[in-house]
Chain A
Amino acid sequence: MAYRDNSKYADVPQETKQQLFDQVKADERYNDYLYGCYECGICVSACPSARFYDYSPRVIAQTMAREDIDRFYEILADDIWNCAQCFSCVRCPRQNNPGGLVTLIREVAVRNGLKETREVLQGYSRVIYKVMLKGNQVSPDMLRPDFFPDWGPWVKQFSDNMREWRLAIPTETMRGVTDAAWKTDAKTLRELYYIWYSTGNLDLIKEVDPGLHDLIAEVVEEELAETEWME
């Protein structure tokens, strides 16, 4: 039996695969992350995802070094979201950074709105919404028993008492805050919105979730309209 089903993405045109590969290779960080591969497997031995998934940082480094376009496309569609981004793989004696390569490949997958990427990120949209509008990754109001039943009974206990528990924190920037991790100035958030707006991040969201993009864009553009930064 073949290790891989090489016909899985046979319907994807070679030009498309090549174009996506070229986008990864064109990233200015690419040459900082890939120097070749001894095939020693140290990266695999340290990789948490390699223990639980059909995933190998070594294969990623090899594939990119060999410029194997078909295998690259399989990695792009199937493998990259398994990486835990812990960067244990940077133990590489050749100084490769397979985790960094995964980041670049993920960015290309997002930029091009790949079907598989849209599906993977569907469950993550709430976090993207939060980070883009609040400048925080997680907030207390995200801790709900229906999302985190496996975290034990304290989630329900917290959820039932969220207001009081948050008011019972002596740190002024956190006390009573439930929709963000800490209090952030309105001016600071506008500066963050300008970063998302001016660096093309809003357009990125459009590729993975148009509905989410519209929600975020409405707030960002309304807030930025109050500034002199809009072009």
Chain B
Amino acid sequence: MTRQSVLWTLLDKVESVALTLWPMKFRGATGYLFIAPALLLVGILLIGLGYMMEYSLHELDTATYRLKEAYSFGNYLFFAEQPVYLRILLRTLLAATLVTFFTLLLAFPYAYVMVRTQSALVRKLLLVSLFLPFFIGQVVRAYGWLIILGQQGIVNTLLVKMGLPTLDLIYNYGAVIFGLVQYMLPFAVLLIVPAVTAISEDMELAAESLGANWIRTFRHVVLPMARPGLVGAGIVVFTLTMTDFAMPEILGGGTTDFIASAIYDSFFQLSNSGLGAALSMVLVAIGSLLVALVFWLTGAGTLSIRSEAP
């Protein structure tokens, strides 16, 4: 028997098994069969969230360090009454706003130049510089910044060699913002690129031939047309920043806690899983409300699977 015929017999076998397991009359339901594994997999997340919701409704019994049996909203009230949690929440939201602003400010020119450049070499350089950090991960990148900006880091060693005093470049709010902007940049560029590609260069030429300088062309033609990409990138950067854990921990050194750190600490430092779960629910609620609000303001479909496929 030739290899080809072995393959055919094998395919026939597979075909008949498939027909027994999934008869022709079910053909109309094939879509559901295909989607089922993904639905089940994501279902794990929903079950876990269900557990968390349940945990959040039980207060900690400080006598036994277990959650009380009785249901209550005590954890949520505790969150609302403690100024420390509101401060952390505000700090996180401010950081998310700043990071979104700076990331978009840098990502848009990057995407624009990458799409518009005539040189294939420049385009490749920009693409590789984008994918390399994207594929390296947050912890390793933060480690790189520690080497550069740390107390005994490269910048400070150079300063000492030049006879200058050292600077506190890490373990502060600015370092966390900077690290996050660098972390978010590839995400933002990749989300903005399709929108920029969709803008015909003729549009810009038309605006310029009518006497608009490039800044006015950008303001009135390019930016409005790229809006879907900018909004999509903005949402992703904002929500990812709001929920980030590694950068505030590594570059903030525990001095600038974000909500994610507060959740972690409630679970693992205070052993108060009820409070941690309640904080998690608050975080999910704020994130969902923001995304819903943006969708409502800008029209749905900004982030839908079909329109934003990379």
**Do these two chains interact?**
no
